[in-house]
Amino acid sequence: DRYMEKERKLCRKEMINLEKSKVYFTDFRARPGYNLLQKLERLIKKAGIENINFKNKYVAIKIHFGEPGNLAYLRPNYAKVVADVVKELGGKPFLTDCNTLYVGGRKNALDHIDAAYLNGFTPFSTGCHVIIADGLKGTDEAYVDINGEYVKTAKIGRAIMDADVVISLNHFKGHEGAGFGGAIKNIGMGCGSRAGKMEMHSSGKPNVLSDKCRKCKQCKNICAHSAISYDEEGKAHIDHSKCVGCGRCIGICNFDAIKSPNDEAADILNKKMAEYALAVVKDRPQFHISLICDVSPNCDCHSENDAPFVPNIGMLASFDMVALDKACADLVNAATPFENSYLGDQLKKNVHEKDHFHINHPDTHWESQIEHGEKIGLGKSDYELIKI
């Protein structure tokens, strides 16, 4: 009897593994009297968001607020729909992101919140507050042990790890480093602190740009490993034999004088992102939403956005971020490219490849996100697309 029960359990487990992940889809068509915001609410409820226990739970809605000057980011109206559903179900939502590693309009919490408000993500328009998860200078992080193939301990913005539930609201688009940006990138790269982002982007350690160093010695004060010294001119230098790559010197420098080498191979970048995403969502409720609209060839981190390279396709939702990203990629690759776009320009050069993301950025390999995510148990690439 014990043997038979064990066999039944193994069979049930195999049946679960064989099941396709469900990805729910609706297009951007809207008849009079029924708008896109109502369609989004219906989509996420049909996809099962109500099955999560939100009662008195803190809910991190991870979103990209858009670099100032970029207009391809998701409209705040969509964030309000998600926040309102969470509140309806008893949760306490907040919109969140982590500071950027590069120099730009979102490199510290004050500038980041200004950028969010500039782009319309205010408590008045979305119904919830903005919290920059890794603090004022990107150094407020939680350490999450995952013992991955590439990442042993992930460095995640503390406010995100303090949340009880994680929801990603993704603008699905192209990306010059990852091939595309979807749920895995939004959660994996987006939830990394500045040190976490450095770990994903870099196989090396930071360096000082001497011409920008102002000799303030704040970097030495924050370094716990005595890796920073000064030359006869008072300019900082980093001893890589002592540096552990924590990235705190990058965060503390007010003059952008310390830079990450940003030299990691595209495949490894994608795999590290998947491992960071696992660190964020493991052992707690998660839900993922992607909108395939304004599909720019590059990330919303750019202070500009090029024309979309395919038409707006639809909104998708799933509990499985790997399946969601794969479904989005398949839909984009099946779409007819716009002639007046970066992809259209590339196709005029007699490119015969059918992968739109690879045509845009030939040095990328977006499939490595999916493959590694499936390998580490982040989700499954085999999906069932349910149209509503």
Q: Which of 202, 204, 232, 208 is nearest to 220 (CA)?
A: 208
Tell me how far apart the alpha carbons of residues 63 and 181 are, in angstroms, rounded to a whole number: 12
**Would you state the pLDDT for residue 259?**
83
Cα 107 vs. chain centroid, distance in angstroms?
16
**Would you state the pLDDT for residue 291?**
98
**Would you state the pLDDT for residue 253?**
86
Tell me how far apart the alpha carbons of residues 30 and 245 are, in angstroms, rounded to a whole number: 50
Task: Tell me the one-letter amino acid at 265.
Answer: A
| Helix or strand (DSSP H, E) at 236 | strand 236-238
Tell me how far apart the alpha carbons of residues 351 and 354 are, in angstroms, rounded to a whole number: 9
**Would you state the pLDDT for residue 68?**
95
Q: Which residue shows structure tokens 């395919």? A: 310
DSSP 260-275: ------HHHHHHHHHH
List, in order, residues 6 or more apart from 335 with CB less than 8 Å away: 310, 311, 313, 356
96 token code pair: 């969140």
List, in order, residues 6 or more apart from 364 with CB less than 8 Å away: 175, 176, 177, 178, 179, 266, 357, 358
| Helix or strand (DSSP H, E) at 315 | strand 314-318
**Would you state the pLDDT for residue 221?**
87
Torsion sign (Cα): 245, 114, 127, 308: negative
Which residues of the chain, if any, have pLDDT below 50? 14-15
**Would you state the pLDDT for residue 89?**
98
